[in-house]
Structure 1
Amino acid sequence: MEEILQDIGVEIDNLNLLGQFIMLAAVLVVASVIYMLYTKIIVKLILKATAKTDTKWDDYLLNIDVLNSLKHLIFPIILYFFTPLVFQGHPEALFYARKTILVWLIIVCVKLCLAVLDGLHIASTEETGLKHHPLNGLTQMLKLIAICVGVIIGISALLDKNPAVILTGLGASAAVLMLVFKDTILGLVAGVQLSVNKMLKTGDWITIPTRNINGIVKHVALTTVKVQNYDNTIVTVPPYALISESFQNWNSMQESGARRVMRSINIDMNTIRFCTPDEMRRYEDNGWLDGMERSGDTEVNLRVFRHYLENYLVNHPRIVVNDDKKMFLMIRQLQPTPQGLPIELYFFSSFTAWKPYEYMQADIFDHTIAIIKEFGLKIYQAPSGTDLALIK
């Protein structure tokens, strides 16, 4: 047969080259057909099937990004298995072609892993039991591991070495690697601790006075936690700083529906005295002595005032009183000071948002300051220049 082809002027090498081109074209056509069928039909069928299931996890694991990454595997897989036929008789070309396709396949597999991890992360933010855990740092760490594994396998494929040999070589430089990835490693450990102990999540209000942080957590990443302060500035802090230092998380307060108020006013001790009979009758007429255990015919005006404040707070519509949850109410004396006798109001407001909480607190102390003169008491106030000018 070869003699006949030579007699009619056809070169055997050219014929072999033509056959290889035809084989390559056939392989590309088959891969293209499978690619089109997958893109136009299979992807739509998978999306419809996942949409009909009750569970949401398959919607995230088989999302459009994952399916698109899967379709990119078609060409390298088909070409890798059929290149021995295409490059038959050309071992050197076959060697470099398979190396190139193998690296291509590794890159696509890494992208597929990253897409799957993104889907898992989105699913975890939607899942009731996991959405309160800051898993973004863990997801980023898994992505970094997937990329590192892909790079090691890719290098081993190019150098035709066992991946274990490359890992052994990297082990010798472990100290350098730990120094380079110090923040990443510390961030991973801190992220796991924050997640497992439910210490922090996106949307929490936290305060760290030592770092001038007082705001809402916007993003929890592998190496940074981003907080938007109430003055609209953005502060970033490494996660491991939240573990090594102390911070205050106000989330449990917001979820409880009650926020503590603990403020005091200073009473001028010169105005503390026994009530007169006329005052006692007036207090009884106003109902200010109802429910108070009497110690005699007369009472100290400060005791009557404290009893009045307690009844006023108990009947306030925006104050939470629940002893079972330690949301009790108390009017107590503190240690006397040169600036007077502090009387502390300790209670819990049903407002947890900043502005309503401050307004309600101000209204209560407005009333307290205004009513105190009805009991013959005065609030201590340091003398001002006007007061000194009245002294003759």
Structure 2
Amino acid sequence: MIGQMLALVNGWIEKFGLLSDGWRAGVLIFLLVLGTATVAFIVSRLILAVENKFKSTKNKWDDAFLHAARRPMVAFVWLQGVYWAAEVAHHFSDAEVFKANGTVLQIGFVWVLVWFLFGLVKEIEKVLTSPIKMRKPMDYTTVNAISKLLRAVIIITAVLTALQTLGFSISGVLAFGGVGGIAVGFAAKDLLANFFGGFIIHLDRPFKVGDWIRSPDRNIEGIVEHIGWRLTTIRTFDKRPLYVPNAVFTTIAVENPSRMTNRRISETIGIRYADVHSMQKIVEEIREMLKNHEEIDSNQTLIVNFLAFNASSLDIMLYTFTKTTEWVRFHEIKEDVLLKVSDIIESHGAEIAFPTRTLHLPDGVRLSGEASEQGEARSEGSKEAPESRGESEQGGQPAGDKA
């Protein structure tokens, strides 16, 4: 068809005898490029208008399809137009470069198709994880893993198709890949370990994006920001990014506090030995207070008991769980509980104990401080006696003189 149209236009121009072959080729190529730009502009505007119109409908998949198809469709129009222009140039020229027009068109078509499929996968991922477009949005980590797998399948299929188009045998390529894969496997064993580690994370799902995780085996703690095929990005609580190879998670224990059902309050509170007679009432009131506390989960383990005779206190064990798992709210509830415990202890005339030590001495034993005080008292008394005697002697001396 393109050859017939080309012959018709070329014959019409040649009939007038106004232009040489070079000028005729230039005019035809210019008209083809101009027509391609016009058609591409019309196609882009048309798809954009249809996309804006479909946004008001309840169907969310047509929006994703049109948004993913708009740019690849424009690229396809340009690809076809450039191909026709190259065919015109090939008609007027025997250059070797124009003999590859068909191959370039096929490779370009594969590239446009991959671009469209990548965009479609991305748009579907956005729809499935959006709380606005979906009543029950899917888990982002799962959807992201599936989308990555689909992209890998698309790339592998496109590469094999392109190699077949270029004249390479797919069976030979696969055989080479099987032999070379062994060498690559040994050379890139760490990379493959991280890849399969990421696959295990997506399969077992010990954590997902947004979870707070930590490891007792390694200095790893923070919020998961991204789970890649090689690295997992964790934002620590001091706001620094931490990049952990996925292979690490196959050899360490990982704790996921984000999935806790309750937060625990575990405290040991001591009162004085002098308040032992109030111990039972204090324990009973604290236990009752916790049972009636609106933020304490009474369905979980609740323990309030006299625990032990400690060195300088009578210890009470307080063990309970809050309903909330939020870190800030938990500390507010814990503060309220501890203040109420303090009020209960004070209401019975008792006091919270602090470390003290009592020293008992047998009769007749005096401390060094007391002995020194008594010695100072004696020395002061001995000093006062001579002074009084001296005064009497001085007082009597004038009398003697007068005598």
Q: Is this a same-fold pair by TM over 0.5?
A: yes
**Residue 313 of structure 1: how far off its partner (Å):** 1.0
Tell me what 1:308 maps to. 285
State the Cα distance separating 1:343 from its structure 2 match.
3.5
TM-superposed CA distance for 1:174, in Å, is 0.5
Alignment pair present for 1:136 and 2:144: yes
| 1:364 aligned to which of 333, 337, 353 | 337
Compute the RMSD of aligned alpha carbons.
3.9
Q: Which moved more, 1:348-357 or 1:178-187?
A: 178-187
Report sequence identity in percent.
18
CA distance 1:344–1:36, shift in 2 (3 Å): same
Contact 1:260 1:348 in 2 (8 A): yes
Residue 183 of structure 1 deviates from its aligned partner by 5.6
Q: Separation in 1 of the partners of 2:315 and 2:193? A: 47
Task: Please name the residue that 2:109 is paired with.
Answer: 105
Is 1:114 matched up with 2:118? yes
What is the CA-CA distance between 1:105 and the residue it aligns to?
3.4
Instruction: Show the counterpart of 1:285.
Output: none
CA distance 1:86–1:374, shift in 2 (3 Å): same
1:272-283 equivalences under 5 Å are 275=277
Larger Rg: 2
1:231-246 matched pairs, under 5 angstroms: 231-246=238-253
1:38 aligned partner, one-letter code = V
Listed as ranges, the matches of 1:69-84 within 5 Å are: 69-80=72-83
CA separation of 1:230/1:152 partners in 2, compared to 1, >3 Å: closer, same or farther? same
The separation in 2 between residues aligned to 1:210 and 1:226, in whole angstroms, is 18
Q: How does 1:183-202 map to 2 (within 5 A)?
A: 185-202=192-209
Deviation at 1:141, TM superposition (A): 4.8
3-state secondary structure, aligned to 1:210: coil
Unaligned runs of 5+ in 1: 1-9, 276-300
Contact (CA 8 Å) 2:72, 2:112: kept in 1 or not? yes
> How many aligned positions are there?
341
Work out which of the residue numbers 42, 45, 49 in structure 2 matches 1:40.
45
| Selected match of 1:352 from 317, 325, 328 | 325
The superposition leaves residues 85-118 of structure 1 with CA deviations (integer Å, 9 ceiling, x where unpaired) of 6534848444233333444333333333332232
Q: Greater relative contact order: 1 or 2 (C-alpha under 8 angstroms, separation 6 or more)?
A: 1
Structure 2: tracts of 5 or more residues without a match: 1-14, 362-366, 368-403
Q: How far is 1:72 from its partner? A: 0.7
Distance in 1 of aligned mates of 2:63 and 2:315: 61
Alignment of 1:1-392 (within 5 A): 20-21=25-26, 23-49=28-54, 51-63=55-67, 66-80=69-83, 87-88=90-91, 90=94, 92-126=96-130, 127=134, 128-158=136-166, 160-179=167-186, 182=189, 185-253=192-260, 258-265=262-269, 275=277, 301-321=278-298, 323=299, 327-332=300-305, 343-369=316-342, 371-372=344-345, 381-383=354-356, 387=357
Q: Distance in 2 between matches of 1:135 and 1:184?
A: 23
From the superposition, tell whether residues 199 and 130 of structure 1 become closer, same or farther in structure 2 (CA, over 3 Å): farther
Note the C-alpha offset of 1:338: 7.0
Structure 1 CA distance for aligned equivalents of residues 200 and 46 of structure 2: 44
Give the SS at the match of 1:52: coil
Residues 311 and 132 of structure 1: CA distance in aligned 2, closer, same or farther (over 3 Å): farther
Displacement after TM superposition at 1:37 (Å): 1.6
Asked whether the equivalents of residues 184 and 222 of structure 1 are also in contact (C-alpha less than 8 Å), the reply is: no
